[in-house]
């Protein structure tokens, strides 16, 4: 019986492996405790098991601690107490950390053989991809070794990766608490899986998007820059462009006639819609309709990407010249010159080079979802209770108790917008670009003229902590000085290494924040900032604000938004250690405001 809620140690894997497994493979569980049922592995997997013998459900969480450059491990650690409190009574929560690439495949196989009720990938698309591959062995689905077992193992996902593109198709964001709620509800739906092979050999499965040539090369390079977060996709794309040539290819759809596709830039085979950190590349793909959507970009030049990138992100590129889309059950792709150098990737993981055949396995896996996959025709998921069966009995308890996540008060907490807001790499570039521009512009500006608040003595309590009410009062004063645009804040109430985050990015350091504010302010003619409401919570204060300004560009655009800022207090010093801005206006709308000319004037502070 597995009743483990702690990480299980792992021992080396030595058994026969399928060809796509890479080195460093390990298999789950030194299950020395008699709480665990040990079983010999069949089908060449051989090894110990991760299974219970009680009536409780066994949920195996396969965690990639290296996902999102280590953020997955941190988020997972924070999530565990909540997860246990939600699921612990009805389920065995079995946590298995991967030790390296491909390990998740082995863990998954063993878990399925031992009858786990669900294997849940915790990490990004790469981890999900490996878990999906663990559902198969030598071209067949892995089965429960107990032939009398009545249930099949479901696939689950807690999306905590860099891109987490698969989750976007269903409107799941990277909020792990929502994912836990989904798992607790336990609705299942059949989901299609794509399979890739080369002349019937080297079978490899994908659940999101497989792609060929430029995008695959970009993904290959992007994987080397994950430490830069979502910027890795931009860097990867730039590197892939260097020396890139479009290539003539031949394709065969559903076993029909071979067709020539000249000058292919990229060919994408979608079981779901998004790849590359939010690009809606196969907008008509539905991971439960028994088809794959193939989108081919031909004869694209670098400037086509500059002018059409936004269309690729919002999924409107199918109307662009040289873009074709078709729904297929299988597609074979070969390069005409047969150079052997055309990259292929599946679910963002490098998978060698052409030629390859891609085909669909309809309804191959039972997936834990909160919706019917057949209903995902548009970006917004339609929640449906009839698409699956409930495997857990926690739903009512959730709703009745209103379990809060991370200590947040579900009624008082300002709500960030839910649902999908595709990350826009363009906006990221704009964000970093504007910061660089600001720095460059500041070189030509006269020295700082706005007064800097200094010498404020923060009152402290008997344990040396800054008095909360004084810190809050300083923030309110800073609002009166429009500190967002003047940089004129009370530095004494902030930690020097305070983290500043907004919808586009985050960084640490008060000095950098002040500099960015000042640089931003220098681009503004008039501004008006008002603190509308203040809320106090145990670990933070929340200021709700209204902001408008006229930018000093020749077309005088007006930016206008409401939002709120969370000010987290350091438990030791009592000072602000995190400053998190939330804009109620979607990023893309702000961007549009910036481009819109106006003659308008905004009453308020003259900067
Ligand atoms: N313990 C580990 N150490 C190093 N690499 C690992 C480990 N476990 C898994 N991996 C590899 O990490 C890679 C990336 O993982 P994952 O997809 O979870 O995160 P990500 O790349 O940040 O997210 P996304 O794919 O959504 O952009 C996978 O290719 C996987 O093989």
Residue 23 or residue 134, greater confidence: 134
Mean pLDDT computed over 546-570: 87
ipTM over 0.85: yes
User: How far is the centre of ligand 1, averaged over its atoms, from the C-alpha of 352 (Å)?
Assistant: 18
pLDDT recorded at residue 515:
82
Distance CA 381, CA 373 (A): 9
DSSP for residue 229: T
> Which atom in ligand 1 lies closest to the alpha carbon of residue 232?
27
> Which atom in ligand 1 lies closest to the alpha carbon of residue 161?
23
**Residue owning tokens 């344990």:** 463
Residue 11, classed as helix, strand or coil, is strand
Determine how many CB atoms are found less than 10 A away from the CB of residue 10.
Answer: 19
Closest CA to 211 of 336, 335, 341, 343: 343
Highest averaged pLDDT of the listed ranges 126-135, 518-527, 559-568: 126-135
Distance CA 397, CA 412 (A): 21
Distance of CA 61 to CAs 150, 376, 406, 547, Å?
21, 26, 19, 43
CB-based burial label for 337 (10 Å; 0-12, 13-18, 19+): exposed
For ligand 1, atom 10, which residue shows the shortest CA distance?
101
> Which atom in ligand 1 lies closest to the alpha carbon of residue 121?
18
**Residue owning tokens 């709120």:** 564
For ligand 1, atom 29, which residue shows the shortest CA distance?
126
User: How far is the centre of ligand 1, averaged over its atoms, from the C-alpha of 214 (Å)?
Assistant: 21
Which of 9, 67, 234 for mutating ligand 1's site (highest number of atoms within 8 Å of CB)?
67
Which of 10, 20, 63, 64 for mutating ligand 1's site (highest number of atoms within 8 Å of CB)?
64
Cis ω on the peptide bond leading into residue 239 (within 30° of 0)?
Answer: no
Residue 210 or residue 527, greater confidence: 210
> Which atom in ligand 1 lies closest to the alpha carbon of residue 226?
22
Beta bridge partners of 195: 205, 359
pLDDT recorded at residue 393:
27
Mean pLDDT computed over 431-457: 54
pLDDT recorded at residue 486:
82
Residue 380, classed as helix, strand or coil, is coil
State yes or no: pLDDT of 448 exceeds 60: no
Task: Report the range of poorest mean pLDDT among 122-126, 134-138, 233-237.
Answer: 233-237
Which of 61, 98, 121, 123 for mutating ligand 1's site (highest number of atoms within 8 Å of CB)?
123
User: How far is the centre of ligand 1, averaged over its atoms, from the C-alpha of 488 (Å)?
Assistant: 42
pLDDT recorded at residue 258:
97
Residue 394, classed as helix, strand or coil, is coil
Which of 7, 76, 127, 221 for mutating ligand 1's site (highest number of atoms within 8 Å of CB)?
127
State yes or no: pLDDT of 510 exceeds 80: yes
Distance CA 600, CA 595 (A): 14
**Residue owning tokens 């292919």:** 264
For ligand 1, atom 3, which residue shows the shortest CA distance?
100
Residue 92, classed as helix, strand or coil, is strand
pLDDT recorded at residue 507:
85
Distance of CA 323 to CAs 107, 177, 312, 348, Å?
40, 38, 11, 21
User: How far is the centre of ligand 1, averaged over its atoms, from the C-alpha of 161 (Å)?
Assistant: 8
Query: What residue ranges define each of the domains in the chain, with the CATH number in brackets?
Result: 11-191+364-401 (3.40.50.10330), 201-362 (2.60.200.40), 444-606 (3.10.450.50)
Q: What is the dihedral of CA 441, 445, 450, 455, to 10 degrees?
A: 80
> Which atom in ligand 1 lies closest to the alpha carbon of residue 347?
25
Mean pLDDT computed over 565-569: 93
Q: DSSP letters of 416-453?
A: PP-S-----HHHHHHHHHHHHHHHHHHHHSPPP-SPPP
> Which atom in ligand 1 lies closest to the alpha carbon of residue 129?
17
State yes or no: pLDDT of 36 exceeds 80: no
pLDDT band at 439 (very low <50, low <70, confident <90, very high): low
Mean pLDDT computed over 153-168: 94
For ligand 1, atom 28, which residue shows the shortest CA distance?
126
Type and span of the H or E element at 73: helix 71-87
For ligand 1, atom 31, which residue shows the shortest CA distance?
101
Radius of gyration, CA atoms only, the chain: 26
pLDDT band at 6 (very low <50, low <70, confident <90, very high): very low
User: How far is the centre of ligand 1, averaged over its atoms, from the C-alpha of 232 (Å)?
Assistant: 14
Q: 281, 273 in Cβ contact below 8 A? A: yes
Residues with CB under 6 A from ligand 1: 64-68, 98-101, 103, 123-127, 130, 161-164, 226, 348-349
pLDDT recorded at residue 433:
59
pLDDT recorded at residue 415:
35
Task: Report the range of poorest mean pLDDT among 34-43, 258-267, 428-437, 541-550.
Answer: 34-43
Question: CA 532, 536, 542 angle in degrees (round to 5)?
Answer: 50
State yes or no: pLDDT of 302 exceeds 50: yes
pLDDT, tens digit, for every residue of 390-430? 333 222 222 222 223 333 333 333 333 333 344 455 555 55
Q: Which two tokens stand for residue 221?
A: 């390079």
User: How far is the centre of ligand 1, averaged over its atoms, from the C-alpha of 128 (Å)?
Assistant: 9
pLDDT recorded at residue 230:
78
Mean pLDDT computed over 308-315: 91
User: How far is the centre of ligand 1, averaged over its atoms, from the C-alpha of 487 (Å)?
Assistant: 39
Active site residues: 125
Mean pLDDT computed over 303-319: 91
pLDDT band at 54 (very low <50, low <70, confident <90, very high): low
Mean pLDDT computed over 106-120: 95
How many residues does the structure list for the chain? 607
pLDDT, tens digit, for every residue of 240-293? 998 899 999 999 999 999 999 999 999 999 999 999 889 999 999 999 999 999
Mean pLDDT computed over 282-311: 93
User: How far is the centre of ligand 1, averaged over its atoms, from the C-alpha of 127 (Å)?
Assistant: 6
Mean pLDDT computed over 316-330: 95
pLDDT recorded at residue 556:
83
pLDDT, tens digit, for every residue of 334-368? 999 989 999 999 999 999 999 999 999 999 999 99
pLDDT, tens digit, for every residue of 485-507? 888 889 999 998 899 888 667 78
State yes or no: pLDDT of 158 exceeds 90: yes
Distance CA 569, CA 576 (A): 5
For ligand 1, atom 22, which residue shows the shortest CA distance?
68
pLDDT recorded at residue 437:
57
User: How far is the centre of ligand 1, averaged over its atoms, from the C-alpha of 324 (Å)?
Assistant: 32
> Which atom in ligand 1 lies closest to the alpha carbon of residue 64?
8
Closest CA to 604 of 554, 544, 530: 530
Residue 159 or residue 464, greater confidence: 159
Distance CA 213, CA 261 (A): 13
pLDDT recorded at residue 454:
55
State yes or no: pLDDT of 388 exceeds 50: no
Helix 103-113 with 125-134: angle, nearest 10 deg: 40
For ligand 1, atom 4, which residue shows the shortest CA distance?
100
């Amino acid at each position: 019986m597995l009743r483990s809620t702690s990480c299980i140690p792992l021992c080396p894997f030595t058994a026969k492996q399928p060809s796509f497994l890479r080195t460093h493979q390990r298999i789950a569980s030194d299950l020395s405790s008699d709480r665990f049922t040990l079983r010999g592995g069949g089908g060449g997997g051989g090894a110990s098991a991760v299974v219970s013998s009680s009536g409780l459900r066994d949920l195996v969480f396969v965690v990639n601690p290296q996902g999102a450059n280590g953020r997955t491990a941190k988020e997972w650690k924070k999530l565990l107490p909540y997860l246990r409190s939600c699921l612990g009574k009805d389920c065995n929560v079995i946590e298995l950390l991967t030790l390296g690439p491909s390990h998740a495949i082995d863990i998954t196989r063993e878990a399925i053989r031992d009858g786990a009720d669900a294997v849940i990938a915790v990490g990004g698309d790469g981890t999900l991809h490996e878990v999906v591959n663990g559902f198969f062995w030598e071209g067949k689905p892995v089965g429960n070794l107990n032939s009398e077992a009545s249930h099949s193992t479901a696939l689950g996902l807690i999306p905590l990766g860099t891109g987490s593109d698969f989750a976007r198709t269903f409107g799941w964001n990277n909020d792990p608490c929502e994912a836990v709620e989904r798992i607790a509800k336990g609705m299942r739906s059949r989901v299609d899986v794509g399979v890739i092979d080369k002349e019937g050999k080297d079978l490899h499965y994908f659940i999101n998007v497989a792609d060929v040539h430029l995008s695959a090369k970009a993904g290959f390079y992007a994987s080397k820059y994950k430490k830069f977060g979502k910027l890795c996709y931009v860097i990867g794309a730039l590197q892939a462009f260097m020396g890139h040539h479009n290539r003539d290819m031949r394709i065969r759809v559903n076993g029909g006639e071979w067709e020539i596709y000249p000058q292919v830039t990229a060919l994408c085979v979608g079981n779901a819609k998004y790849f590359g950190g939010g690009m809606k590349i196969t907008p008509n793909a539905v991971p439960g309709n028994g088809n794959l959507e193939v989108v081919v970009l031909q004869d694209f030049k670098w400037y086509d990407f500059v002018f059409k990138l936004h269309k690729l992100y919002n999924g409107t590129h199918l109307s662009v010249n040289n873009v074709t889309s078709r729904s297929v059950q299988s597609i074979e792709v070969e390069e005409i010159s047969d150079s052997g150098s055309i990259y292929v990737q599946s679910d963002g993981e490098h998978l060698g080079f052409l030629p390859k055949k891609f085909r669909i396995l309809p309804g191959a896996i039972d997936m834990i979802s909160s919706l019917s996959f057949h209903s995902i025709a548009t970006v917004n998921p339609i929640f449906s209770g009839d698409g699956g069966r409930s495997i857990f009995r926690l739903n009512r308890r959730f709703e009745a108790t209103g379990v809060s996540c991370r200590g947040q008060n579900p009624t008082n907490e300002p709500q960030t917008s839910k649902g999908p807001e595709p990350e826009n790499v363009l906006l990221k570039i704009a964000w970093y670009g504007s910061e660089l521009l600001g720095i460059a512009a500041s070189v030509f500006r006269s020295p700082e003229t706005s007064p800097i608040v200094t010498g404020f003595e923060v009152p402290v309590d008997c344990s040396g902590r800054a008095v909360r009410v004084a810190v809050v009062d300083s923030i309110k004063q800073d609002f009166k000085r429009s500190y967002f645009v003047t940089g004129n804040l009370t530095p004494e109430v902030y930690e020097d290494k305070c983290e500043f985050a907004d919808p586009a990015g985050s960084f640490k350091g008060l000095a950098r924040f002040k500099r960015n504010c000042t640089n931003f302010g220098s681009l503004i003619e008039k501004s008006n900032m008002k603190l509308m409401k203040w809320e106090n919570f145990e670990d933070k204060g929340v200021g709700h604000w209204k902001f408008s300004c006229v930018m000093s560009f020749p077309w005088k655009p007006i930016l206008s938004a409401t939002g709120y800022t969370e000010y987290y207090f350091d438990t030791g010093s009592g000072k602000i250690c995190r400053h998190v801005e939330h804009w109620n206006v979607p990023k893309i709308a702000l961007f549009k405001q910036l481009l819109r000319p106006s003659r308008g004037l905004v009453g308020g502070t003259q900067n």
